[in-house]
Each structure stands twice: as C-alpha cells, then as structure tokens.
Structure 1
Amino acid sequence: MDQGPGVLFDVDGTLVDSNYLQVAAWLRALQSVGLDAPAWRLHRALGRTGRELVGDVVGDAGLERFDEISGVHAREVDATADRLRRTRGAAELVRAVAARGARTVLATSASAESLEALRRVLDLDDVLTAVTSAEDVERSKPHPEPVRTALASGGVDPAHAVFVGDSVWDVQAAAAAGLPCVGLLCGGIGADELLAAGAVELYDDPADLLDHLDASALRRAW
C-alpha cells in the first residue's frame, strides 16, 4: 500500500465516552473473584490491554485468575453497551479529517469484542482507512507497537501523521513512534499530566478540536 498522510485516533475516552463504564466493569470483574482496587487506579490504567491493566492494578493475584476476570469484564461491558455514546463532535471530527484527504485509523487497545460495540456507536466505517485493536499487537500503549501497527495498517506516512488520544499512554506511545499527539481532556486525565507526557496541544473534546481543526497540529496530515 502506498503511504499517505493520516490521523490516528484512540477510541475509548477519545471518540467514545466509555472510560467510566470501563472502570465500573473492571471493578465488578475484580470483585467477582474477591479482589478489589480503587476506581481511580483503574481509570489511570485504562488504555492498556486487559491483562496488563489487571497486572498493573492488582498484580499476580489478578493475573492468576485473569481468564475469570476477563470473562466477567466482557459480560459487564456487553450489559452496558446501550449506554455507550460518542464524545461531543467525535463523528464530525473524523469525517472532517477524511474530507481533507487524510487517512483515518482507529488505534485502540480494546478487545475485538469491545471494538465491535464501539464501532457501532461511532458509525464511521465508511470513512475509516483501517482499524487496529489489542488482537493485532503483543504490547499495548505506552509501547510504540500499537501506533506503528496502526500506521502500517492504514498505509500512513509517519512524517505526515498525528495521533489523537486522551491518556498519558497515548501520548507516550505516539512519542515513542515519532508522532506528535494531540491530547483531549474528555477521557478524564488532567491537562498537566498530558502536557508533561509530551502532548503538543490540548482540547476539551473532539468538538473543540474540530472548531480549531485547520489551525491545529492535525494540519500536518494535509
């Protein structure tokens, strides 16, 4: 595939307002096997694969029962799928980027099952160049592999690419892959943390970024 300019988008917390539903799902999944964790620690671990998230938050005790935890988490996510909604301006932003001739790629650490529900909510398949998930990589953000995989899947030229995400992991993974990252606050991570991680710009949500689109760092992609 020939390379072209493009924008890579995280999904959970960035384009879909799902972070707090995810926190509740992971909390119930841990409690189902007698484990517990503060909700804020779960929130800060979002963006990593399920196994890495559980390992980060509860350690070996969670990894030893990860299959059970993951199964309950999947059921909890499925039960709340009807509560998923796009973040403000999410669909309009992605369509505006595509209309400017840039390739659009979803680069998420969500499982294949979770991604199906997220894609239904977004309803953007007609303008997406590629979609990558946890199934496509061995390491999750902040490792650069998810970003590099998304670049390759979409045929995106790294010299003319930008990442849009809501977590410190997004910013760090993009930087490790040589991409600037525009940070969004709609995922619940503070501005100071995103800037300290290396975000080149900050916006409240996709609608805010869309309002400033052609003056933003995304102009690198067209």
Structure 2
Amino acid sequence: MLKAVIFDMDGVIIDSEPQHARAALRVLNRHDANADYDYCSSFIGSSTKVFTQDIMKRFPLSISLEDLLEEMNLEKKKILKEEGYAIIEGITDLIKKLYHAGIRLAIASSSSPTEIENTVKALHIKKYFTKLISCAHVEHPKPAPDSFLLALKELGVSPQETVVVEDSCFGSQAAKAAGIPCVGYLNPHSGNQDLSAANVLLESFVGIDERFFHNILCRSLGKPVMIADTKRLFIRELEPKDIKEIYQIYKDPDIRQYIPDIDDYLEEEMKKQEAYIKNVYSFYGYGMWGIFSKTSKKLIGKCGIENLEVDGKNEIVLSYLLDTNHWGYGYALECCRAVFTYAKEELDIKRIVAVIDKKNTRSQNTAKNLGMTIEKEIPYKGHDCYLYSIQLD
C-alpha cells in the first residue's frame, strides 16, 4: 500500500538546474576556468560540495575549496534574486492531491537545508511536507542511498510503501540503491540524464494523482493493478497464474472463430502471455485486463485497449472476450463501459476503435450500445470486418 512519496527538489519541484549551471559558469569564468554547460550539468543530482571538489581537481584555481563553495552559493542566491523561483508545471497540484489523499510527503534534495526551507516557504508548500532532508544531513550524497534511507526512517515507512520522484541520473540511482521504486521526470532543462534506473518515465505532472503512484508501486512489487470495480465484475491486470484459465476460454471454438492469433500449444501461448504481462502494462499503463466475477471470484474473460495498426493507421483498439457461459447477460457492455471510463478519466484517451468481424453480430450490438458507430468496412487479419469508433468527450 502506498504510504509515502519522496520528491527531489531541483528539477522536480523547481526548474533550478539552469540557474545553478549559470551560477557555476559565472564563477568559473571569473577564475579563468574553461568550463561549459555540459560539464556543469554532469553534476545534476549531486551536491554543490561534490561539484566544487571536482572543480578544484580539474582546474588550477588560486582559491580555497571553502571560498569557492561560498562564492558558488552566493552566485546562486544572486541569480535566484534576479529571476525568482521557476516552479514546475503541475507539481503544486500534485503535492496537494497526495497530501489530501493521506500520503506522507518528504523532500530529499542535494541542496542545503536553508535552500530547501526557503524554497518550500516561497512556494507556500511547506505544510504539505512531513520531512525536509538535505545532503547535509547524511554522510554520502546521491548517488548513494543515504538521503532516501534517512527519509524513509523519518517518515516511518518502508521502501515497499514508497515512491521517489527524480529528474537526475544520480537521484534515480540513489533511489534504486535504497530499494525504492522511482518515477523519472524528463525535465528538458536537466541535461541529458540517464534515467534507466527509474521504473517509469514521466513527461508532465499535469493530471497525475495518487493512483498513478499506487500503480507504480504495485507493478514494482509484482502485484496486479486494479482497473475497475463494477456492479457484478472487477477488472484488474492479469498475472501469470491467470494464463491457464485464459487458455481454457480460448479453446472454445465459438470464441476462436473470431480470434485469429491464438497459439495451439498451451506452453507457447503461456510464454507469449507472460511476456505480455511483464512488458505491456508497465510500458503503456494499459493493455488487455482480466474480467473476474464478483460472485464466483473466477476469471471469466479479458477486456481492455491496445495500440494496434488498423487499416494503415495506429489506433487504440477496444477488445474483449468472455467465457461462453457468460454470454447474453450484459457482461460485455458492463466491462467495456468500465474500460471507456478508465481510458477517459485515468489515461486521457480521446478516441477508441473496435474491429469486429462482419459475422459477429453480438459484438456489433455491443458496440452500438456503447455508442460506437461504423466508420467503414475493412479487411483485418484475413477477416471481413467493420471498423467502429467513438470519441470520449
């Protein structure tokens, strides 16, 4: 269960990395050190102290480490006074949503305690954070895990209850070393950061809420994400243990006549489905999910949306199948409506299509009852089909 989210500050809450780089370059230019922006950005995510230590080794400066560090910090303050704080779009709303959802929040930053304190006060977000952790509070800065381990201790949570948000290579490596799932924020102003240690990459915080972080945590622990809970059904991501039940549904000839790509051998089909479960959910955030009866608790089919090429165009395609014992009771309509709701509210998807065999009158009636309309007739994988579509307004 998600209990806490730990944020980096620079590059995640405020877009400060360009300011820090300009401050460093001003100082280095004054001391005739031939450095560039790429050199400065290579230390994003680490502390100013580590940065200045490298400068002293690399350049022949006639200044002490302590004086250089002081001069660097003064220059950062000067630029901040000139330009103010550049807050990342959507981050304040996200912080408030998480706080009001009962999620404990912390900052674990390579900035100094004073810089962190001044930032949260200036942005009027201090009250939302339980703890403010600086690299000054630990022995080793990022990419060491010390800052995050201290944050876990102060928050009273485990790595299995927490998600980190980072924009830097060092930060994502620190999260991984601490055993905490990490969301890598792709900040274009943070340089060319290697975020391969992150569990998932994110381009914007706009529209994100606690459910997004809950899903990241579930997937990192190998647990299926719950998609919808309807009157008679619940829909969730599939697990490898569900595959044998799915295959039994596939074996029904009434179902196979409309599904062209089912392997005849259980072992081969299981391998394909296991690869699908491992890769597709985490990459897209959606796929084909399992349909379970609330009464029997058993898997009775699959439904969901997938990225497929249809008639030469990339589309988001609705698909479903149900055990024939559950045909004729409105389950298809119930689960597909839940899929549409999830696609619109959680994924912000605007258009969904369905490719339906011209002989499959049951599915055609379901599509019409869902509000989908026929666009045209198309050939699809050796079948004559109708292309249905709907705009999710």
Do both proteins adopt the same fold according to a TM-score greater than 0.5, normalized to the shorter chain? yes
Deviations 1:4-45 (A, max 9, x none): 820000000011010000001112223333323221111121
Is the Cα–Cα contact under 8 Å of residues 8 and 166 in structure 2 kept in the other structure? Answer: yes
Contact 1:27 1:36 (C-alpha < 8 Å) held by counterparts = no
1:23-172 equivalence runs, <5 A: 23-57=21-55, 59=57, 61=59, 65-82=64-81, 83-172=84-173
Separation in 2, partners of 1:156, 1:189: 32
Local SS of the residue matching 2:42? helix
Counterpart Cα distance in 2 of 1:201 and 1:125? 27
TM-score between the two structures when normalised by the length of structure 2: 0.50
Change (3 A) 1:41 1:205: farther
Quick one: structure 1 residues 181 and 17, their matched pair in 2 at CA, closer, same or farther if it must change by over 3 Å? same
1:214 is aligned to 211
- SS at 1:138's partner residue? coil
Query: 2-side partners of 1:218 and 1:108: how far apart?
Result: 24
Question: Structure 2: which amino acid aligns with 1:20?
Answer: P
Q: Which structure has greater strand proportion?
A: 2
Runs of 4+ in structure 1 deviating by more than 6 angstroms, as ranges, are: none
Larger displacement relative to structure 2 (12-21 or 75-84): 75-84
SS at match of 1:96: helix
Where 1:12 maps in the other structure, the secondary structure is coil
Relative to 1, partners in 2 of residues 1:202 and 1:219: Cα closer, same or farther, differing over 3 Å?
Answer: closer
- Bigger Cα displacement from structure 2, 118-127 vs 177-186: 118-127
SS at match of 1:48: coil
In the alignment, what sits opposite 2:190? 188
- CA separation in 2, counterparts of 1:212 and 1:189? 26
Measure, in 1, the Cα distance between the counterparts of 2:169 and 2:76.
23
Larger radius of gyration: 2
The TM-score with structure 1 as length reference comes to 0.85
The 1-side partners of 2:62 and 2:133 are apart by 24
**1:74 Cα shift?**
1.5
Distance 1:182-1:93 versus aligned 2 partners, 3 A rule: same
Amino acid at match of 1:80: I
For 1:7, give the aligned amino acid. Answer: V
Letter matched to residue 72 of structure 1: E
Give the number of the structure with larger relative contact order, counting CA–CA contacts within 8 Å between residues 6 or more apart. Answer: 1
Q: Over residues 48-77 of structure 1, what are the superposed CA-to-partner deviations in whole Å (9 max), with x where a residue is unaligned?
A: 111211234552656972212111112112
Could you tell me how far 1:212 is from its partner in structure 2?
6.1
**Among the aligned pairs, what percent are the same residue?**
25
Equivalent position amino acid for 1:81 in 2: L
> What SS does the corresponding residue of 1:159 show, helix, strand or coil?
helix
Could you tell me which runs of 5 or more consecutive residues in structure 1 were left unpaired when the two chains were aligned: none
User: How far 1:174 moved relative to its partner?
Assistant: 0.3
Native 8 Å contact 1:201 1:217 kept in 2: no
Distance 1:139 1:63 in 2: 27
